[in-house]
Structure 1
Amino acid sequence: MSPTILRLQAKTFNMTKAFPFYFFRWMHDHYAKLPLHSHDFIELVFVWNGSATHIFNSRQFGRLEYKIYPGDIFIISPGEEHTYHLDPGEKVEIINMLFYPEMLESSLLFESYQAERELMDFLYVQPFLQKEARFSSILKLDAIAAEEVMTLVAKIEKEYTAQQKGYQSLVKLLLTELVLRLGRFYSERPRLISERLLVVQGGTKDKLNRVLGYMEHHYNTDFSVEQLAEMASCSERQFARLFKQATGTTVINYLHNLRIKRAQKMLSRTNEKIAAIGMEVGFHDISFFNRIFKRIVGMSPKEYQAGLSRGGELEGRTAD
C-alpha cells in the first residue's frame, strides 16, 4: 500500500499572490517524523546545521536517498515528493524559503545578457537534470561561499520577521540576489558530461534546458515564442525546430500539456470551480480551456471532476 502523501499549498503558509513567499527555520530530530509531502511552490533548502538523509521520490527515477550536511543547498520543484530521515542521535537545522517564480525578476531571463541568464540555471535547469547529474550538482559551499550565503539569508530572515515598511520589496531584491549568487556558484562547480534535461537528447543546445525549466515554473503566465527564442539565444525559426526536435511537439502543445496536467491535479485535490481552475493554470477563456482539456484528456473537466467525486477509475488520459 502506497504511503499517504501530504499535499501542501501556498495558502497553508498564508502566501498571497501579491507576496508569494514564506521563510522558516526547521529543527528536526529522530523522534519528530516528517511525512512524505509535496507542494505547489518552489522550495529552496539550505542546510544550516547538523545532518540528515534526504528522501526524494522522483517520477523519473523512483526513490532516491542521499546525505545532506551544513552548506548544502538544493531546490525542490512544485509537485516533487520528499521528506527527511534522521538516525538516533542525529539532528538537523534547515532553512526553508518557499516562493513562486513571480518573486524573481523575469527580465533576468528575457532582457539580460547571456551570462546573467546562465546565473538563473540553478533555479530553472538544476531540478530537471538526469539522476546522476542532479544529485551531484547539489551545491556544497565552501566556508567563504557559505558565509556569503548565510549573510544574505540572515538579511532575508530579518526583513521577513520584522516586516517594516518596504520589507516585501527588499525581500524580493535579496531573494533575487541570493538566487543569482547561487547561480554563480552553480556555474563554477565541476560539471558532468551527462548533465542535461531528460527530454533533451543528442546535440540539442544546452540553452533549451533553461527554456524548458522556465516553462515548467511559469506555465500559467503569458509569454511569447519570441521571448522563449530570445532566452535560448536563437531565432524564432531555429528555436521552433530545436524545440520540436527535443520534445517531439510544438511550444504551444507542450504548454497546453503542462497546463492541463496541473488542472488535473487541481481537480483531484481542490473544490474550486472549473472556471477558476482554468484561469489559474493560464487559460483566460473557459470554452477554450474545456476544448483543450477534452482534446488531451479525452473528457471534459466536468466529466473528469464527476468521475473523481464518484471515486471510480477514470478512463481519461493523463497529460504528458
Structure 2
Amino acid sequence: MKAMCGKSIPSDSCSWRFAKVDLSSIEFNWHYHPEYEICLTLNSGGSKHIGDHVSQYERADLVILGPYLPHSWFCKPTKGNHELTVYVAQIPSQWLNELVQKNPELSILDSFLQRTKRGIEFGRAATLKSINLFKAMCQADPLERYLLLIELLNLMVKDKSAKQLSTSTFDNKTPQNTAIAKLDKVINYIYEHYTEQLTAEKLASLVHMSTNHLHRFFKQRTEYTINQFINQLRIGKACKLLIDSDTQISAISDQCGFNNISNFNRRFRMIKGATPKEYRNMLKAPAII
C-alpha cells in the first residue's frame, strides 16, 4: 500500500480545516500530510494504523497526529447499516507552532506538540467531552470555532490518560523539496513492493545515491533503518490480515514477504510482544456504540 501525501484546504475564513463526514465504512488509505490532525471517530469499530502502531479501536476514538506521521483507519460496513461519523481538524503546522511560540498562554502546548510526532490516543473521559466540542464546531462561526479548537487542545493536553502510539517518530520538520522528493520516491517504492524481496541497492539506484548514503539519509529522516521500516510495514499488514481474516498464519507469512515462518514469528514477537497466534487469540470483535 502506497503512502499518499494528502493536501488539506482551510475551511472558509479559517486558518485550519474542519470537517464532519458520515460514512458506511472506512477504506484502508495509508497516507500522511504536513498538518497536525485531530480525529474523532464515532459509531465505529475496526483497526487503526499510526506509524508502526496497529490496534483495534471501538466506541468513540480520539487521537492527534503530528505532521508527516503516516496513518489510516479501517472499518468494514457496520451491522444494520448504521452510519459512522468522523470529525477531523487539520491544522497547518507552521500556523500552530507560531501561535504557540508567540503566545505565552499557549506554552503548555509546546511539549505536547512534540509528543504528537508519535501520535497520541486519549482516554475515555476526554474523548466523550470532545464530542460536544466537535458538535459545536459544526454550527460555529470562524471565531467561535477557533475558540473551540483552543478548548479542545486544552482538554487533550491535560488528559492524564493519554498515551503515545507509534514506537518511533517521523521527521516533522519541513525538509527541502529535493529531500522530500527523494524520500517520497524511496518510501513510495517500499510501500508498493514491501511484500517482495527488496534490496538497499535497488532503492539507492532510484534516487542516485550510494547504499551507505541512502542508509544514513533514510535513518536520519524516519528514525528507522530501511530493514526496520520494511519489517514494520510487513508486520502491520500481517496484523490487518490477522484481524480481518481467517487466513492461515503460514499463508499470511508468505503474503507479507517473509521468507519463512520462523523468521515471521520472530519478527512479529519482537515488534508486537506476542506470536501471531497469540495476537489473533487476543482480538475480540469490536463493539459499536
TM-score by length of 1: 0.47
The answer for the alignment partner of 2:150 in structure 1 is 180
In structure 2, which of residues 86, 92, 100 is the aligned counterpart of residue 94 of structure 1?
A: 86
Whether 1:151 and 2:136 are equivalent positions in the alignment is: yes
In structure 1, which of residues 74, 90, 95 is the aligned counterpart of residue 63 of structure 2?
A: 74
Alignment of 1:225-264 (within 5 A): 262=180, 264=182
Alignment of 1:131-142 (within 5 A): 134-135=120-121, 137=123, 140-142=126-128
1:46 maps to amino acid: L
Partner SS for 1:140: helix
2:38 maps to amino acid: L
Higher relative contact order, structure no. (Cα contacts within 8 Å, ≥ 6 residues apart): 2
| Residues 49 and 73, structure 2, Cα contact 8 Å, conserved in 1 | yes
Whether 1:9 and 2:2 are equivalent positions in the alignment is: no
Find the aligned partners of 1:38 and 1:54 in 2 and give their Cα distance. 15
Find the aligned partners of 2:125 and 2:100 in 1 and give their Cα distance. 21
Partner SS for 1:183: helix
* Deviations, residues 187-219 of structure 1 (Å, cap 9, x unaligned): 443347x879968xxxxxxxxxxxxx9x954x2
With over 3 angstroms needed to count, the CA separation of the structure-2 counterparts of 1:197 and 1:9, relative to structure 1, is closer
Residue 262 of structure 1 and its aligned partner are, at CA, apart by 4.3
Partner SS for 1:189: coil
Partner SS for 1:106: helix
1:190 maps to amino acid: K
Find the aligned partners of 2:126 and 2:211 in 1 and give their Cα distance. 44
With over 3 angstroms needed to count, the CA separation of the structure-2 counterparts of 1:264 and 1:154, relative to structure 1, is farther
| Residues 268 and 308, structure 1, Cα contact 8 Å, conserved in 2 | yes
The answer for the alignment partner of 2:33 in structure 1 is 40
* Deviations, residues 124-163 of structure 1 (Å, cap 9, x unaligned): 424536xxxx4454773445x54344323532xx55xxxx
Q: Tell me the percent identity.
A: 8
Find the aligned partners of 2:70 and 2:186 in 1 and give their Cα distance. 17
Residue 75 of structure 1 and its aligned partner are, at CA, apart by 1.4
Find the aligned partners of 2:65 and 2:95 in 1 and give their Cα distance. 16
Find the aligned partners of 1:195 and 1:148 in 2 and give their Cα distance. 22
Residue 7 of structure 1 and its aligned partner are, at CA, apart by 0.4
* Deviations, residues 206-264 of structure 1 (Å, cap 9, x unaligned): xxxxxxx9x954x239xxxxxxxxxxxxxxxxxxxxxxxxxxxxxxxxxx9xx997453
Residue 92 of structure 1 and its aligned partner are, at CA, apart by 0.7
Count of aligned residue pairs for this structure pair: 200
The answer for the alignment partner of 1:24 in structure 2 is 19
| Residues 119 and 180, structure 1, Cα contact 8 Å, conserved in 2 | no
In structure 2, which of residues 45, 49, 68 is the aligned counterpart of residue 56 of structure 1?
A: 49
| Residues 38 and 90, structure 2, Cα contact 8 Å, conserved in 1 | yes
1:182 maps to amino acid: L
Residue 120 of structure 1 and its aligned partner are, at CA, apart by 5.3
2:84 maps to amino acid: V
Residue 67 of structure 1 and its aligned partner are, at CA, apart by 1.5
| Residues 52 and 91, structure 1, Cα contact 8 Å, conserved in 2 | no
Find the aligned partners of 2:9 and 2:93 in 1 and give their Cα distance. 17
With over 3 angstroms needed to count, the CA separation of the structure-2 counterparts of 1:111 and 1:93, relative to structure 1, is closer
CA RMSD of aligned residues (A): 4.6
With over 3 angstroms needed to count, the CA separation of the structure-2 counterparts of 1:25 and 1:314, relative to structure 1, is farther
Residue 28 of structure 1 and its aligned partner are, at CA, apart by 1.7
Residue 119 of structure 1 and its aligned partner are, at CA, apart by 3.9
| Residues 73 and 139, structure 1, Cα contact 8 Å, conserved in 2 | no
Residue 37 of structure 1 and its aligned partner are, at CA, apart by 1.6
The answer for the alignment partner of 1:165 in structure 2 is none
Find the aligned partners of 1:197 and 1:81 in 2 and give their Cα distance. 10
| Residues 182 and 207, structure 2, Cα contact 8 Å, conserved in 1 | no
Find the aligned partners of 1:120 and 1:178 in 2 and give their Cα distance. 19
Partner SS for 2:40: strand
1:220 maps to amino acid: T
Find the aligned partners of 2:84 and 2:165 in 1 and give their Cα distance. 31
Flag structure 2 segments of 5+ consecutive residues without an equivalent: 189-200, 221-289
Partner SS for 2:151: helix
* Deviations, residues 22-67 of structure 1 (Å, cap 9, x unaligned): 433322224xx513321223322133x42232421433x4x22222
The answer for the alignment partner of 2:260 in structure 1 is none
The answer for the alignment partner of 1:266 in structure 2 is 184
With over 3 angstroms needed to count, the CA separation of the structure-2 counterparts of 1:7 and 1:148, relative to structure 1, is closer
